[in-house]
Amino acid sequence: MNILEALLAAQGGGAVQQLGRQFGLGDEQVTSALSALVPALASGFAKNATASGGLDSLVGALAGGRHASYLDDLGALARPETAADGNGILGHVLGSKDVSRQVAAQAAMTSGVGADVLKKMLPVVAAMMMGALAKNAGAPGGAASAGLPGGLGAALGGGPAAGGGLLDMLAPMLDRDRDGSVVDDVAGMLGRFLGGR
């Protein structure tokens, strides 16, 4: 299951309904918003994970936090501390508020949901993604596979990804041209968001 599917399926679709109530959207609008936001965030997660020490840092953050609770307790999604945690995650994943705003603006064009709403959703979605990764890391073989350089290389380098690795959840979101390699796609996506920076 890729990370978008994990979010859409969380609590039998309850997470989608919670986001709808929270941000005044219908289920289809939430699905469209997630479909637009998750690939951009997935590219940031993948870029961070492939940086020196990045995967160890991600696994450590997943082990040390209570991120899985974001998908287990849907009421947590509306709490201010969830948005605060999400903003911290966005700082690591995207690097700046400018990039976050660009992600929201780009997602608004493809999803039909307003950029202002998407900007408010972005930290909550980032927290949910950490929740999905944490649950995957806690699954049998999840954390072990995530720590294997071979699995990481396969997930990002073009070979068949090792089952259960953290980046296996992200890879389907990143291989936009379906050439089996996400490296070119991550570079292209981040290039669009970072522009001339």
Q: Taking every pair of C-alpha atoms in the chain, what is the biggest distance, in angstroms?
A: 43
Q: Which residues lie below 8 Å from residue 62, measured CB to CB, with a gap of 6+?
A: 130, 133, 134, 137, 143, 166
How high does pLDDT run on average in the chain? 74
- With a pLDDT cut of 90, the percent of the chain lying above it is 34
- pLDDT per position as a tens digit, 72-88: 899 999 999 999 999 98
* pLDDT(17) > 90: yes
Query: φ and ψ at 167, to 5 degrees?
Result: -75, -15
pLDDT at 67: 76
Q: Residue 69: how many CB atoms within 10 A of its CB?
A: 15
Query: φ and ψ at 65, to 5 degrees?
Result: -100, 180
3-state secondary structure at position 178: coil
pLDDT at 51: 67
* pLDDT(58) > 80: no
Contact present, 54 and 48 (Cβ < 8 Å): yes
Distance CA 116, CA 82 (A): 18
* pLDDT(154) > 70: no
pLDDT at 107: 92
What are the CA-CA distances from residue 84 to residues 27, 123, 160 (Å)?
24, 7, 36
| Sequential DSSP letters for 41-59 | HHHHHHHHHHSTTHHHHHH
Query: φ and ψ at 53, to 5 degrees?
Result: 75, 0
- pLDDT per position as a tens digit, 28-46: 999 999 999 998 888 888 7
- pLDDT per position as a tens digit, 133-145: 888 766 544 443 3
pLDDT at 70: 87
- pLDDT per position as a tens digit, 177-192: 444 443 344 344 444 4
Range from 68-72, 111-115, 117-121, 127-131 carrying the lowest mean pLDDT: 68-72
**Own/partner long-range contacts of 147-154 (Cβ < 8 Å, ≥24 apart):** 147/55, 147/56, 147/59, 152/49, 152/50, 152/55
The pLDDT confidence band at residue 57, using thresholds 50, 70 and 90, is low
pLDDT at 19: 96
